[in-house]
Amino acid sequence: MLILSSLLLFILLAAARDEFQEELVIRPLHSGDIYASFQFRTLWDTDFLQEGQKVSHYRLFPKSLGQVLSKFSVRELHISFTQGFWRTMQWGQPFIPSPPGAELWVWFHDTVSDVDGNWKELTNVLSGIFCASLNFIDLTNTVQPSASFKPLGLGNATDHRFLRYATLPREIVCTENLTPWKKLLPCGSKAGLAVLMKSEKLFHSSFHSQAVHIRPICQDEQCSSKAWELRQTLNVVFDLHTSGQGKKEWSLFKMFSRTLTEACPLASSSKVYVDITDNPELFELSPATPLLGQAVVLGDRRTYSVYDLIMPTSSMVLSPCALGDMLRPLLHAERYVAGFGLQTGEIHTVIYNNHPYRAFPVLLMDSVPWYLQLYIHTLTVTSKSRDNKPSYIHYQPAKDRHRPHLLEMLIQLPPHSMTEVTVQFERALLKWTEYTPDPNHGFYVGSSVVSALVPSMVAMRTNFTQDQPLFSSFVPVKEESSYFVRVYTEPLLVNLPTPDFSMPYNVICLTCTVVAVGYGSFYNLLTRTFQVDEPSPPLSKRLANLIRRMRGVPLLT
Amino acid sequence: MGLLSDPSRRKVLTGLLTRLNTPICIVCYLAGIVWFMGLAFEPFTLRTYMSENAMGSTMVEERFSSGERALSLAKEFDAHKRKAGGMPVEWLVKAMQSRGLEVFTQSFSRKLPFPDENKERYMVRGTNVYGILRAPRAPRTEALVITAPCSPGNTNNQAVALLLALAQYFRNQIYWAKDIIFLVNEHDLIGTQAWLEGYHHTNITEYISGSLRGRAGSIQAALSLELSSDVITSLDLVLEGLNGQLPNLDLANLFYAFCQKLGVLCTIQGKLQRNDWDTAEGYTHAAQTMMLMVLKQACGRSWGDHGLFLRYHIEAASVRGINSFRHYKTDATTIGRLLEGMVRKLNNLLERLHQSYFFYLLPSLSRFVSIGYYMPAFGLLAVILLLRALDLWVHLGAPALAAVDGVTEAEQPSSPGVLTVLTPVVISHLTGVALYLLPVHLQEMAVEHFPVSETEAVVLTAIAIYTAGLALPHNTQRLLSGEGTEQGWKVLKLTALLYLAVLLGCTALINFSLGFILAVTLVPITASITPALYALVMVLLSPAFTILYCVFIYQELIEAPVSVSEGWMLFLSVISQGILDHALYGSLVYPLLALFIYPCWLMFWNILFWN
C-alpha cells in the first residue's frame, strides 16, 4: 500500500512537472506584410533514454511521437515543412528558419548500432504521422554534415555518424500536413491559440512553415533533471497588399477569420506578443494593453505589447505605409545556376556580410544530388574580387545512384562584402526509368545552408530564465556578443538532358509490328507441310492420253 | 539487299545512274522547288493544335480592366522620358516599387565594333530596370518574363505603361505559381542581351555589365511587348529568333487561341489570314507569308527582343501592336487581357513548353508545316550534289579499273596528286578567313585612306575582299603539274561537291531556311560546272548575289518594292547588320558564309580557270 501510494505520488509529481506553453508573436514587417509566429512548447518530464526504462504514461506529450522517440533511440529530431521562400531582404530574419519543402535532421543516441536502418524506418514512420512524402528520403538524398548541424539540446555529441540530414525541396505543404500537426497539440485546435489555425486562411499567405523540434533540455538552471521539449512552430506571412486592397490595417479576424476567446486550459502560459518596435507612435492597438515586454532576439532589442489570454482580445493595428525598400540583413545568401545549354553549368552561391566593420566566419553546407556531377577542382571562393581560402573543407564525393555530394566549408566573410562560391558541374544523362513523370520540369537541388555566429548589436542574454518568451529562447546562447543564425538559400531547378519520351512509344509500336510480321511468317514457314506438287499436264496431253487409253496404247508421260 | 551485293546488278544500277544523271538531277531540282512551293497549299498543311495539356483544358478568365490607366501612364512615362533624355530610371524604379515589386537595376555598356548607322549608335551605355513579382508560397525556382523595350522617341511608351499596369494588376492576384519578372530594357536588343548574360552569368559577347542582384530561378517563358499607339488594329506575332531558332509552336498556338477568344485581329509576318485557299490569290497569300518567314529565318538575326531568349532554352515570342487604317480597333484593355490570359496559362505550366514542334514553317497562324514535311524539299536538292558526286566518282574510277584489268598504263594522268587539290582548298579558305577578319580590323586604315565612314569602310572592305577572292591566282595546278588535266578538275569538283553537300546538310538541320535558300542558288551552278562555263553565270549565282536577290524578294513581299539603287543601299546595310549581329549577339550566319560557304564556292570558281 505504501509502495503503491508512493508510486502514485511519484507519478503525480512527475505529471505535475509536465508543462505546456503557447505563444503567438505578431510582427508587422518592413515590407508591409504581417508575420505571425506560433510556438507551442510541451515539456515532458521523463528520461527514457536511460537503460531499462520504459515509458507508457503520457499526459501532455503526444504518444505517437513519444513512441517514435523511444523506439528509434532518437536524441534530437527536427522536422519542418515549408511552402514558400523566406524573403530575408524584405522580411529580415525569421525566428526559426527553414528551407522550402521538407527538411528533417535527426541525432540518434550513440547506442544505436544500425543508424541507417533506424533512419529509414524513422522516415517511413514520420511520413505516416505527418502525411508527407518523407518516405522518399533514402540514401541518395541523405547526408551526414560534419559541422553545420550541432545538437541544440543537452549533450555534446559531436560524432556525426549519428546525425542524418535530408531535404525534399519539392515537397508541397498543404492542409493534409497541417491537420496531423495540429493533432499533436494537447488542446488540438479546439481551444487556445490553435483555434486561429484555419487552413483556408493559413494557406492564403505568402509564406507558410510548420515545424516540430524535439530535444532534451534542462529543467532548471542547475540542470539537475532533464526533460524532453517538444516545440511546435508555425510561421505565416500574410500579404496585406493582395487582401487589404491598399489598406494597411489588420486584425486577428481578418488574418485568421477567427478571434481568440480563451487560452488552452492545459497551458501554463498563453500569450500574444505584438512587435511595436518600429515606429510605436504610428501604431494603434485596440484593445490597448498596459503590458510591455522587451526581448533580445536575433541581435536586436525589440519591444512588444503583451496580451495574456485571460482577457479576450481582438487586436487591431494601423501600421505605417512602408515603401518597398530592401532591408540589409547582416547575413544574407542567395544561389543560382549560371550558364546555358544542357551539358554543363555552374552553381553560384553568393553570401553577403552587411556588417559595417566586423568579419565573421560562416559554415556553408551544400548537398547536391549525384546527377549533377560536380567538378570540385573548379571550386572557387572569392570575396572582394580576391581569392578567399576556406579554413576548413569537408567534401564527400557522390556515388552514382547511391549518395549525394556533400560540401562543407568554413569561410571567413570580410566586413561589408560579398563572397561568391562557384563550382562547375556536368549534367548526367539518366537511365530512362530514372526520370520523373515530368522530366521537363527539371530536377531540384536542395537549399544550401549557411550557419553563422553573427556579431550582435546588443548584448544577448546568456542566463537561463523561465520567463523568457519562447521565440527568443530556441537557440541556446553561449556568448553575449554574438547570436546564431542559419540562412537557407533558394533551391535550384536544373534541367537535365531529357530524351523525347514519345520515342520509346514509337519504338514499342515498331517492334511490335516487326515481331508480329516476323513471327507470323516464320510460324507459317515452320508449321506448313510441303509436298511436291505434280504439275497437271496440259489439256492437249490429257486429251491425247484419253484417246490413247481408249485405244489401249501406252500413255504419254 | 541482293541488288547491291550482286556485282552485275550493281553495274546496271550505276550505269543507269550515270547515264540518266542529268535528267534525274533536273527532275530532282524541279521536284524540290515544287515540293517547297506546295508547302503553302492548304490541303497539304496541318491545322495547328494545342499540344500542352496544362494550357489546353484549363480556361482562364481575364479580368484586367485598367487599360485607360495604362494610357495615362504612357503619357506620364513619355514626359519623364523626355525630361531624362533617355530611360527615366528613377521614375521606373519608383513606379515599380509602388506597385509592390522587388526592383533591381543593371547598368551595361558596349562599344560596337563599328558605328551602327541604322540605329545611330556606337558607344552604348544604358540601364535595364526590372521588377520581380514574387509568387506567394513559391520557392523562387521558376519565373516568367515580360519585357518592353524603352525605345528612343515616341515609340513603345504604351508597351511600358501596359507592362506597369499589368504588374499592378498581377500583384493583387493570388494564383501565381511562378515569379514574374517585368523587364524594361534600354537600347532594345543590346539591353536584352546584357540582361540575359547578367542573369545567367555568362559572357559570350564582351559586354561590360554590372552584376545582377535579384533572380527568380529558371525562366520558363518570355513575352516581349511592342506597342506604340493607344489603339491598334491588329497584333503581329514575331517568332524568328537568333540563328533561325524558333520557340515552341505551342506559344504561337496560345497567342492564336487568345486572339480568337477576345476577337483581336492577329497576323503573322504582318499578313492576315485568308480563308479562300482554293483560289489563286489565297494560295499566293499563303506562299508569300511562308516565304517571308523563310527569308527572316534564313538571315539568322533576332527579329524582336524575344529572339535572344531562345539561346537560353527559354520559349519566347514578341507581340507587336500594329495600327493601320483599318476600321476595326482594339483598345489597351483588350491587349492587357490578352497578355493576362497568356501569362496565366504559362503560369499553369507544369513543365517547360516541350510538347509541340520546335521546327516548323507557318503559312498562316492556324496552319503549320512540320519538319517532316519540309525536309524532303531540301533533301531533293541535296541529293543532286550526291548524284553528281557519284557520277564523277564512277567516271574517275573507270580508267583505273581498266588499268587493273590488263594493260599497265602510265599512271601519271590518272593521279593528279594531292597538292593540285589541296592548294585551291587552302587558298579559298584563307580568302574566307580574310573576309571574316579583315573588314572589322582594317576599318581604321580604310578610313584614313579613303573618304568613307567606318561603317562604309567595313562593308566596302568586305565587298573588296570578296571580289579580290575572284581574282586570286586560281591556276596553281599549272605551276605544280604543268597543264591542268581533266582528271584534276574532276577530283576538285568531286571534293567540292561533297564538301558543299555536308555544309548545306548541316546548315539545313539547324536553320532549314538558310540551307534551302543556299541550296536553291548554289546547287544548279555547282552541279553543272565545267571549265567551259561562263564566269558571269557563276558570279550571278554566288553567295553575295543570293543575298542581293533575297533583299529584293523581301522588299517585294512586304509590299515595299525598291529601285536598284535603293536595293543596293539595303544590300550594304544588310551586310553591316550581319557583321554587327555576329559581334553583338553571336549570330552565326556571317561566319558561316565567310568561313565556309564562300570558300566552298571559290573552289568551284577555281574549276572555271582550270585550262
Q: What is the pLDDT of residues A274-296, one digit of tens each?
A: 887 766 555 666 666 666 777 66
User: Residue B473 burial (CB < 10 Å; 0-12/13-18/19+)?
Assistant: exposed
Highest-confidence range of A200-209, B160-169, B321-330, by mean pLDDT? B160-169
User: Does residue A246 carry a pLDDT above 60?
Assistant: no
The band of B93, judged by pLDDT with boundaries at 50, 70 and 90, is very high
* Pair type for strands B218-226 and B142-150: parallel
Range of weakest confidence among A358-372, A515-529, B286-300, B535-549: A515-529
User: Does residue A495 carry a pLDDT above 80?
Assistant: yes
- Dist CA A387 CA A482 (whole Å): 27
The band of A459, judged by pLDDT with boundaries at 50, 70 and 90, is low
Q: How far is CA A418 from CA A54, A391, A412, A450, B142, in A?
A: 52, 18, 11, 14, 25
Instruction: Please state, for a pLDDT cut of 70, what percent of chain A lies above it.
Output: 82
| Amino acid present at A135 | N
Interface test with B, best of A88, A242, A435 (most B CBs within 10 A): A242
The answer to whether residue A169 neighbours chain B at the CB level (below 8 Å) is yes
Determine the distance from the C-alpha atom of residue A247 to the mean position of all C-alpha atoms in its chain, rounded to a whole number.
Answer: 33
Place of cell 510582427: A27
The band of B342, judged by pLDDT with boundaries at 50, 70 and 90, is very high
Residue from B554, B417, B552 nearest B488 by CA: B417
Residue from B136, B67, B131 nearest B96 by CA: B131
In the three-class reduction of DSSP (H, G, I as helix; E, B as strand; rest coil), residue B29 is classed as: helix
| φ, ψ at B160 (rounded to 5°) | -65, -40
- Using CA of residue B28, residue B30, residue B36, residue B40, what is the dihedral sign? negative
The band of A467, judged by pLDDT with boundaries at 50, 70 and 90, is low
The answer to whether residue A258 neighbours chain B at the CB level (below 8 Å) is no
| Amino acid present at A533 | D
Q: Which three cell numbers stand for residue A504?
A: 520509346
The band of A52, judged by pLDDT with boundaries at 50, 70 and 90, is low
pLDDT of A69-117, one tens digit each? 888 989 899 999 999 999 988 888 888 899 999 999 999 988 888 999 9
8 Å CB contact between A159 and A68: no
Angle between helix B512-527 and helix B371-405 axes, rounded to 10 deg: 30
Average pLDDT, stretch A472-483? 75
Give Cβ neighbours of residue B106 (< 8 Å, ≥ 6 apart): B127, B128, B130, B194, B195, B198, B209, B210, B211, B212
- Dist CA B148 CA B227 (whole Å): 9
B 414-443: CB under 8 A from A = none
8 Å CB contact between A492 and B141: yes
Highest-confidence range of A220-229, A278-287, B220-229, by mean pLDDT? B220-229
CB contact under 8 A, B142 and A205: no
More confident residue, B598 or A243: B598
Strands (E) located in A109-225 = 142-143, 163-168, 207-218
- Dist CA B245 CA B514 (whole Å): 12
pLDDT score, position B473: 64
ipTM value > 0.90? no
Q: b/e string for B246-274 if b means 16 or more Cβ within 10 A? A: bbbbbbbbbbbbbbeebebbbbbbbbebb
pLDDT score, position A225: 77
Give Cβ neighbours of residue B116 (< 8 Å, ≥ 6 apart): B122, B455, B576, B577, B580
- Dist CA A534 CA B200 (whole Å): 82
Residue from B507, B495, B479 nearest B602 by CA: B495
Residue of A nearest to B309 (CA): A340
Average pLDDT, chain B: 87
Tell me how far apart the terminal alpha carbons of chain B are, to the nearest angstrom. Answer: 43
- Dist CA A226 CA A47 (whole Å): 7
- Dist CA B213 CA B71 (whole Å): 31
Q: Which three cell numbers stand for residue B400?
A: 583505273
| φ, ψ at A231 (rounded to 5°) | -110, 125
pLDDT score, position B393: 85
Determine the distance from the C-alpha atom of residue B393 to the mean position of all C-alpha atoms in its chain, rounded to a whole number.
Answer: 36
pLDDT of A374-387, one tens digit each? 999 999 999 988 89
pLDDT score, position A2: 46
The band of A322, judged by pLDDT with boundaries at 50, 70 and 90, is very low
The answer to whether residue B138 neighbours chain A at the CB level (below 8 Å) is yes
CB contact under 8 A, B174 and A204: yes
Q: Say how many C-beta atoms besides its own lie within 10 A of residue B11's C-beta.
A: 10
The answer to whether residue B449 neighbours chain A at the CB level (below 8 Å) is no
pLDDT score, position B116: 83
The band of B475, judged by pLDDT with boundaries at 50, 70 and 90, is low
Range of weakest confidence among A30-39, B364-373, B551-560: A30-39
* Contacts across the A-B interface (CB distance below 8 Å): 97
Residue from A257, A215, A216, A213 nearest A235 by CA: A213
| φ, ψ at B210 (rounded to 5°) | -70, 155
- Dist CA B22 CA B390 (whole Å): 12
User: Does residue A219 carry a pLDDT above 90?
Assistant: no
Q: What is the pTM of this model?
A: 0.88
More confident residue, B607 or B417: B607
pLDDT score, position A299: 64
pLDDT score, position A527: 78
Average pLDDT, stretch B27-45? 93
User: Does residue B360 carry a pLDDT above 90?
Assistant: yes
pLDDT score, position B422: 84
Average pLDDT, chain A: 82
Q: Which of A85, A203, A340 sits opposite B202 (nearest CB)?
A: A340
pLDDT score, position A128: 94
User: Residue B431 burial (CB < 10 Å; 0-12/13-18/19+)?
Assistant: buried
pLDDT of A143-185, one tens digit each? 999 988 988 887 766 788 899 999 999 999 989 999 999 999 9
Average pLDDT, stretch B231-252? 93
CB contact under 8 A, A242 and B172: yes
Contacts of B313 in chain A (CB under 8 A): 340-342, 495
More confident residue, A44 or A14: A44
Q: Is A236 left (phi over 0), alpha (psi -120 to 50) or beta?
A: beta
